Amino acid sequence: MKNFQYVRPTQQQAALETLAQDDKAMFIAGGTNLIDLMKRNVVLPEKLVDINRLPLRKIEPTSKGVRIGALASNSEVAEHPLIREKFPLLSQALISGASAQLRNMATVGGNMMQRTRCYYFYDAALPCNKRQPGSGCGALQGINSKHAIFGFSDKCIAVHPSDMCVALVALEATVLVTGPKGERQVPFKDFHRLPGEHPERDTNLEKNELILAVDIPASSFTQNVHYLKVRERASYAFALVSVAAALDLDKGTIRNARLAMGGVAHKPWRLMEAEKALVGKPVSEETFQQTAALAMQGAKAFEHNAYKLKLAPNAITQALKTAAGLS
Ligand code: SF4
């Protein structure tokens, strides 16, 4: 691992200024992804600004819902009584991610900033437009069994690895960030980017900005929710496909719905057309199968991930059935 400087500010302003002073400085919180990337020479910061001493750990109710500090650990959020009672979809998604030890270290902000697990990205000897723009995409003609079926470009076909973010996009969260131009709110659906011509950029966070918190509005999605994660082994694996499903039911009829997928695109993949189509429909397997078919419109597979074209609609149907209490 390349040598680096390490600083540990206690004030937000000092953290921002320290980052801005050095083009090769990076924030570090839990470090559960960044340290791996540094060990493999994928990311080479010259200075790490450890933000763990900033007061960004609180999980507190607000007039509109809940505010979760960027440094709250994944475990703290998943187990918090307010999250379990009012936002169980988020709690389920978090518990399905990583291992207990990693969830204790990983923070909410870090979870949002984690990089893809595309193998070509992690091997500095192989071409990867995300790691080295212009070098090519090793996965396009290579092994692409875990890769995207939606929203990819000819520059990158990677997927975003988070479970938490799939639930947050379905719950219409907002991200509070601060930086040289002051604070701003970013709708969660706009926080992560599709690869387009610039797969090196995963998010719309501007240079020298810091994530402060995530706000989730209160909603009626407190009962009929389910986070379904399909993976290669029972624990500690990234999703091949995941589905965040939330239903608001009125005696067997769907009053409102939220649906998002993970493991299928470069960002958490919200399924708004499918959500709209569910409203007013009866709870039934047929309804959910039709929704899944609608959700899959526009999906396209590569050489090794065609199984996702079948797995994804099955997962959507199953997640909705479980959320509705049908299975
Ligand atoms: Fe790199 Fe993206 Fe291609 Fe993977 S899919 S090799 S991350 S450019």
Q: Out of 12, 30, 49, pick the residue that ends a domain.
A: 49
Does 128 sit in the ligand 1 pocket, CB within 6 Å? yes
**Inside any domain, residue 6:** yes
Q: Let me know: does 61 contact 68? Beta carbons within 8 Å.
A: no
Per-residue confidence (pLDDT) for residue 1, from 0 to 100: 84
CA-nearest residue for atom 3, ligand 1, is: 137
Q: What is the mean pLDDT of residues 147-157?
A: 98
Whether ligand 1 lies within 6 angstroms of the CB of 262 is answered as no
Q: Tell me, using a 6 A CB cutoff, whether residue 129 lines ligand 1.
A: yes
Q: Is the CB of 138 under 6 A from ligand 1?
A: yes
Is residue 276 in some structural domain?
Answer: yes
Task: Provide mean pLDDT across the span 145-159.
Answer: 98
Ligand 1 contacts CB of residue 110 (under 6 A):
no
> What does the mean pLDDT of the chain come to?
97
pLDDT of residue 234: 85
Structure pTM?
A: 0.98
| Res 20 pLDDT > 90 | yes
Type of residue found at 18: T
The mean pLDDT of 249-259, rounded to a whole number, is 97
Rounded Cα distance between 18 and 7, Å, is 9
In a domain, 307, yes or no: yes
**Closest to 91 (Cα-Cα) out of 246, 310, 197, 199:** 246
Ligand 1 centroid–CA 207 distance in Å is 22
Domain hosting 250: range is 224-324
Our count of domains for the chain comes to 2
Asked whether 246 lines ligand 1 (CB < 6 A), one says: no
Residue 267 belongs to a domain with what CATH number? 3.30.390.50
Task: Report if residue 181 sits inside a domain.
Answer: no
User: Residue 161: which pLDDT band, with cuts at 50, 70 and 90?
Assistant: very high
The pLDDT value recorded for residue 120 is 98
Q: Is 245 a residue whose pLDDT tops 90?
A: yes
286, amino acid identity: E
Q: How much of the chain, in percent, has pLDDT values that exceed 90?
A: 98
Cβ of 320 closer than 6 Å to ligand 1, yes or no, is no
Q: Is residue 161 part of a domain?
A: no
Residue 35 lies in a domain: yes
Query: How far away, in angstroms, is 303 Cα from ligand 1 center?
Result: 15
Tell me how far the alpha carbon of residue 269 lies from the centroid of ligand 1, in angstroms. Answer: 18
Average pLDDT over residues 218-231: 98
Out of 126-130, 198-202, 231-235, 263-267, pick the least confident.
231-235
pLDDT band for position 327 (50/70/90)? confident
For residue 48, pLDDT beyond 90: yes
Residue 235 confidence class, pLDDT cut points 50, 70, 90 = confident
CA–CA separation, 95 and 221 (whole Å)? 18
What pLDDT is stored for residue 236 in this prediction? 86
What percentage of the chain has pLDDT greater than the value 70? 100
Indicate whether 289 belongs to any domain. Answer: yes
Q: Does residue 244 lie within any of the structural domains?
A: yes
192 CA distance to ligand 1 centroid (A)? 16
Spatial separation of the C-alpha atoms in residues 6 and 28, rounded to whole Å: 10
pLDDT in tens, 280-313: 999 999 999 999 999 999 999 999 999 999 999 9
pLDDT tens digits, 80-110: 999 999 999 999 999 999 999 999 999 999 9
CA 234: distance to chain centroid?
20
C-alpha span between 32 and 278 (Å, rounded): 38
Report yes or no: 225 and 216 within 8 Å, Cβ to Cβ: no
- Cα separation, 267 vs 191, whole angstroms: 9
Q: With a 6 A CB cut-off, is 242 part of the ligand 1 pocket? A: no
CATH number for 35: 3.30.43
The tokens describing 296, both together, are 């899959």
Nearest atom in ligand 1 to 158's CA: 5
Which pair of tokens denotes residue 187?
Answer: 């709708």
